[in-house]
Structure 1
């Protein structure tokens, strides 16, 4: 006998959505995400204040905003992932990709209500994507072989990126700073060689680019404050076992003097470890972990500069720029590669002391010191400058450039509309909706600036139809 009882595959209380209901839910969630970040798009885009357990952030960076909100809608989560990928791969344009994707979904909702099948829409959009890409590639300009013009391209790209950020008041200053830093990389594209340090105090215009590497630490007590021709041993090893931690350890002894003997044994172990480190021929020892007073004193007696508790990213970056390796054992000095630099000295920035490494082996290494009034300003300035550095690095690899201000979107929309006019069938309707979604980007930029978007975008459309593809919003 066959049982006809349905099998329950969902958890108790789970909800199930199917067909039109599920599709509508996806549309609503994704469009809501687009509307959330839409107001931050463009040079006049507004910042958002994000409050969380970690404190307050003020930002208009799309990826940062979307990372900070809790979402349970699957379509909306996909848009968040799109912004993350854009941030990782390109650095900027995180808001643009989300707004474009949400506008495409808004258009598709309208097409679905007209009983156009999703596969027909997708087919039309694929043709539209190919045509838009072709139009963009044909119009792109390449000044990679002309050093002067290429630097001007980089400056314009940096200005465009910074125009929508907190640094817009000083965009020329920071654009120049970012371009100088990226051109030092000599095409390697290794952004790890550019170190960003935030120091509160002063104004944003007090920020500057410093050659070499700055480590946000102090030199130990009684250590040399300046060393030339430095040979640096970078380590991640415990240097805090010169005392028996009686309060955290159960020690059973016949007399108190035995504890002293234990401590002496610990000190001897530490002395042996320090001697092994010194045998590497280094005159600078930088450790990821703490260095207690006794080993610090031993290093000072040997004339070795000891720097403790260097943050992990700082140590990784330092190993990269000085050409050294991070060591954790010291029995084989021949197998450990020391870092090198010409001069190590202590410098003052604002009220803080930092350690400056000049003449490092990786000559392109540099540090950007950001100054600002508050933590929120400094954090947003760091995000803004990081976006500019990422975009410039990508431009150095792929030297083709296109115009901004909605010009490229209108160019692509014009090409798609012209192709749609030649294609019979429902695919043409989908392609027209694709062009409409592209036009929503300059529309949003104009809306955020308080202008009449309907008037401006219709004028732009007429100009691009007439072949004036360099026209955009300014």
Structure 2
């Protein structure tokens, strides 16, 4: 019988058995020690500087820290997956799951040293899991779907999620905001229907919840100053059309032999643009939003007719406006009927801090909202957003499930 030869790439680690198990546990312990001090109300924030971009992040959110740590060891990477899974499924408790996993491994290590087979250890862990689940179910409190104190209970859940966060001193203020925001959503509770916008400056208590859609004023061409900044009972055209004159020299080649022919080409382009603008005006819309640019000719055309326009609107904001105000995003101006236009009671452009915001209120399908956060610095606002994300996830989870377990 010929001997078999297996070739491995140079540098391949072929270690196995007990030494490898101990190595895996030690690697996980090192990661756990890195996030251990962030747990609880007295937990400390970590300052993590990204190696490539040099961007600094200050956070005590377990999932955020785990994602930013440059972990090489394959076994320790599983802890990152645990934190990500917890963040996606529950929202809060990302540090806790990493610490629990690390603590289990710490208790198991002596048995591995003594030569106990991993299958026996796993069987024991599964048995303890079933005992824990039974105990938790016996402690759980059922919530009636239409309970009178349900709103208060949801606020308590949101407050608990914020206890260990940077904004714990303002938890009363933010827990009310979070509960109001989640209760505005439809029964599916889609997370992307809660917009979070950050504006530097001001105190945390200056943050506000807009029952509708709000987004930062987009890039504007000359003429926008003449446009009205407030409408009542407005009609909104949602477009995915470019409304500006294009320099077609890169896209097409037209050969002409006299000036008149060239003038006809130029005139045709203007005619096409003006026909589009006329159809938008005739539709009765007085607010025009487009995902693509709206140029200076179109901006001035709309301003002359007391219409407001905003081009280069982010897709997520356009979708939330469609969800709240109705209508549809159109890729042509030929079918701009009343049915495809959005409607809202009040549209206004307001100054918030150093930014201008377009705000839509009184939407018929009020199943979306926007949080506008104020604070001192970018890092502070980013951590506030992460803290609110955890609280929002917990409130959603509490609404979706009919029981809770009290904790400290």
Same fold (TM over 0.5): yes
Q: CA deviation at 1:246?
A: 5.2
The answer to whether the 8 Å contact 2:323/2:367 transfers is no
Q: CA deviation at 1:400?
A: 1.6
1:88-110 CA-partner distances (Å, limit 9, x unpaired): 11111111111111211222222
Task: Pick closer, same or farther for the CA change 1:54–1:363 going to 2, 3 Å.
Answer: farther
Is residue 2:10 matched to residue 1:12?
A: yes
CA distance in 2, matches of 1:223, 1:157: 45
* Range with bigger deviation, 357-366 or 125-134: 357-366
1:76-122 CA-partner distances (Å, limit 9, x unpaired): 22211111111111111111111111211222222211222111111
Q: Give the one of 237, 241, 260 matched to 1:237.
A: 241
Q: Give the one of 37, 40, 49 matched to 1:39.
A: 37
Task: Pick closer, same or farther for the CA change 1:254–1:11 going to 2, 3 Å.
Answer: farther
Task: Pick closer, same or farther for the CA change 1:41–1:322 going to 2, 3 Å.
Answer: same
Is residue 2:296 matched to residue 1:297?
A: no
Q: Look up the match of 1:193.
A: 193
1:160-185 CA-partner distances (Å, limit 9, x unpaired): 11111110121122122222222333
* Range with bigger deviation, 325-334 or 364-373: 325-334
* Range with bigger deviation, 216-225 or 244-253: 244-253
TM-score of the superposed pair, with normalisation by structure 2: 0.89
Q: CA deviation at 1:154?
A: 1.8
The answer to whether the 8 Å contact 1:322/1:360 transfers is yes
Secondary structure of residue in 1 paired with 2:167 = helix
Q: Look up the match of 1:76.
A: 76
Name the structure where helix makes up a greater proportion of residues: 1
Q: CA deviation at 1:301?
A: 3.8
CA distance in 1, matches of 2:313, 2:324: 15
Q: Give the one of 399, 403, 415 matched to 2:406.
A: 403
The answer to whether the 8 Å contact 1:244/1:266 transfers is no
Secondary structure of residue in 1 paired with 2:205 = helix
The answer to whether the 8 Å contact 2:22/2:112 transfers is no
Unpaired runs of 5+ residues, structure 2, are none
Secondary structure of residue in 2 paired with 1:213 = strand
Q: Look up the match of 1:372.
A: 375
* Range with bigger deviation, 31-40 or 18-27: 18-27
Task: Pick closer, same or farther for the CA change 1:360–1:35 going to 2, 3 Å.
Answer: same
Give matches, 1:354-373, under 5 Å. 354-373=357-376
Q: Look up the match of 2:21.
A: 23
CA distance in 2, matches of 1:325, 1:75: 48
Q: Look up the match of 1:287.
A: 290
Secondary structure of residue in 2 paired with 1:166 = coil
CA distance in 2, matches of 1:401, 1:348: 41
CA distance in 2, matches of 1:271, 1:331: 13
Secondary structure of residue in 1 paired with 2:149 = helix
CA distance in 2, matches of 1:193, 1:249: 41
Q: Look up the match of 1:327.
A: 330
Q: CA deviation at 1:287?
A: 0.8
The answer to whether the 8 Å contact 1:236/1:326 transfers is yes
1:233-264 CA-partner distances (Å, limit 9, x unpaired): 22223334x14265898776556776655433
Q: CA deviation at 1:336?
A: 7.1
CA distance in 1, matches of 2:90, 2:338: 38
CA distance in 2, matches of 1:62, 1:348: 35
The answer to whether the 8 Å contact 1:234/1:338 transfers is yes
The answer to whether the 8 Å contact 2:238/2:318 transfers is yes
CA distance in 2, matches of 1:143, 1:342: 36
CA distance in 1, matches of 2:20, 2:81: 20
Q: Look up the match of 1:264.
A: 267
CA distance in 2, matches of 1:54, 1:324: 43
Q: Look up the match of 2:353.
A: 350
Give matches, 1:90-105, under 5 Å. 90-105=90-105
Give matches, 1:202-217, under 5 Å. 202-217=202-217
The answer to whether the 8 Å contact 1:143/1:149 transfers is no
The answer to whether the 8 Å contact 2:217/2:355 transfers is no
The answer to whether the 8 Å contact 1:232/1:285 transfers is yes
The answer to whether the 8 Å contact 2:112/2:118 transfers is yes
1:285-333 CA-partner distances (Å, limit 9, x unpaired): 1111211111223333444321111122211222222223222234444
- Size of the aligned set, in residue pairs, is 402
1:203-228 CA-partner distances (Å, limit 9, x unpaired): 11221223222121157343232222
Secondary structure of residue in 2 paired with 1:39 = helix
The answer to whether the 8 Å contact 1:243/1:263 transfers is no
CA distance in 2, matches of 1:39, 1:340: 50
The answer to whether the 8 Å contact 1:347/1:355 transfers is yes
Task: Pick closer, same or farther for the CA change 1:336–1:78 going to 2, 3 Å.
Answer: farther
Give matches, 1:414-453, under 5 Å. none
Task: Pick closer, same or farther for the CA change 1:4–1:331 going to 2, 3 Å.
Answer: farther
The answer to whether the 8 Å contact 1:86/1:93 transfers is yes
Unpaired runs of 5+ residues, structure 1, are 406-474
Q: Look up the match of 1:388.
A: 391
